[in-house]
Amino acid sequence: MSNIHIGLFGFGVVGQGVFEVIRKSKNAHAEIARICVRDPKKPRKIAVDPALFTDRAEEILDNPHIDLVVEVINDAEEAYRIVRQALLKGIPVVSGNKAMLAKHLPELIEIQKKNRVALLYDASSCGSIPVIRNLEEYYDNDLLLEVKGILNGSSNYILSRVFDHRESYADALRQAQELGFAESDPSFDIEGYDSLFKLVIITVHALGAYVAPERIFTYGIASIHESDIRYAREKRVKIKLVAQVVKVSDEHFTMFVMPEFVEPSRYIYSVDDEYNGVVIRGECYDRQFMFGKGAGSLPTASSILSDVMARLHDYRYEYKKREYLQKPTYTTDLSLKIYVRYSQTNILHVLHFEEILEQYISTESNYVIGMVRLSELLAKRDSLRARDLFIANIPIFFLDRDN
């Protein structure tokens, strides 16, 4: 088997991991032929032949000896231009850029089909856990009812440190940054957008449906407060940032990203630190659970290596579920049971509750638990960003099709 020649875009945390993982793997049949970076002269932590570096994308994209582009840069729009150009030129691509994919997948799927060229991106969702390829291949049927889990390592790391180790939120965030889990702008992690992008990509492979990120209610952990943690401890639950796509009827599915009260009996209860955990529920087989490192240089790079190896065997996603006749449609027309902690903002003036189940008022902090339409949460999302509010989902069961 001859070696696959890789043109690598990006040499940050993940790019360097790709370099190391390929060097470690004895049967990789892959070599990095060129590395495109913004500053080829920048000193690097690992020893790399300086001649491999370039700052000119054409030296990869117009190079007839390059068999595969691996794109792991930070800038989503620049990544889009590179990936699009490579695919239009017929060069297969492996990418880890969830923000770029979540925004541009419909167009990139069309280009793949038209140009008969592959784009693989298992590293974009849940680091080392092979979520995408499993959804695409093993779950290629309509038994699937739900994919739900912890998709962001940094926010999970922060919650674990705060919850289990009683550290401060700020210290935990700094550690997540130092350990290379967090995005260059960590607000993507803590405000839920990183989980959202991964959820959009996962849904394309779970249900064959693409939903644009701005149509999905997303709420993070940025405003979590000691009183929320105390409340959760008293109730013997943990707070986790959970992303989910769920079939709510035969015809409809919903999606949202929110902190959630997780009971000890749930698989994701014991997913801590930078680990991710994904629960897949389907008719006939109930629940299955995938667990692993969702962030960090080498775990993410190992997923890139898996896609590189898959290309040696001409693997490509076929997006078979997108052709299904009875593809379910996206809805936000359903009720969720939520907890809202508030102080200055009178939540009952901001959000319409269909039903209030519990309310607590004190000099320190107040909370209300009640039923709210998901469409109402989506419509009010800007007002809900007030720093004196924190919202968590209290899970309810949508569709029992196990019998």
Question: Which CB sits closer to ligand HSE, 10 or 127?
Answer: 127
- Least CB distance from residue 293 to ligand HSE, whole Å? 9
Residues 113-132 that bind ligand HSE (CB under 6 A): 127
Distance separating alpha carbons of residues 79 and 82, to the nearest angstrom = 5
Greatest distance between any 2 Cα atoms in the chain: 71
Distance separating alpha carbons of residues 155 and 240, to the nearest angstrom = 8
Task: Find the binder of ligand HSE among 7, 15, 153, 370 (CB under 6 A).
Answer: 153
Q: Is 272 in the site for ligand HSE (CB under 6 A)?
A: no
- The burial of 106, by beta-carbon neighbours within 10 Å (0-12 exposed, 13-18 middle, 19 or more buried), is given as exposed
Task: Find the binder of ligand HSE among 37, 295, 372, 384 (CB under 6 A).
Answer: 295
Task: Find the binder of ligand HSE among 15, 294, 328, 370 (CB under 6 A).
Answer: 294
Amino acid identity of residue 84, one-letter, is: R
Task: Find the binder of ligand HSE among 67, 122, 142, 189 (CB under 6 A).
Answer: 189
Q: How far apart are the first and last CA of the chain?
A: 49
Look at the chain and count its residues. 403
Task: For residue 42, indicate whether it is catalytic.
Answer: no
Amino acid identity of residue 265, one-letter, is: S
Catalytic residue among 198, 247, 293, 321, which?
Answer: 198
- Least CB distance from residue 142 to ligand HSE, whole Å? 29
Half-sphere exposure in the Cβ direction for 285 (13 Å, CA): 15
Q: Is 15 in the site for ligand HSE (CB under 6 A)?
A: no
- Strands 329-330 and 286-293 come out as unpaired
Contact 96, 121 (CB under 8 A): yes
β-partners of residue 291 are 277
Q: Is 365 in the site for ligand HSE (CB under 6 A)?
A: no
Task: Find the binder of ligand HSE among 16, 112, 152, 244 (CB under 6 A).
Answer: 152
Task: Find the binder of ligand HSE among 173, 182, 190, 298 (CB under 6 A).
Answer: 182
**Region binding ligand HSE by CB under 6 A among candidate stretches 46-54, 55-63, 178-186, 265-273:** 178-186
- Residues in contact with ligand HSE by the rule CB under 6 A: 127, 152-154, 181-183, 189, 194, 294-295
Give the active site residues. 198
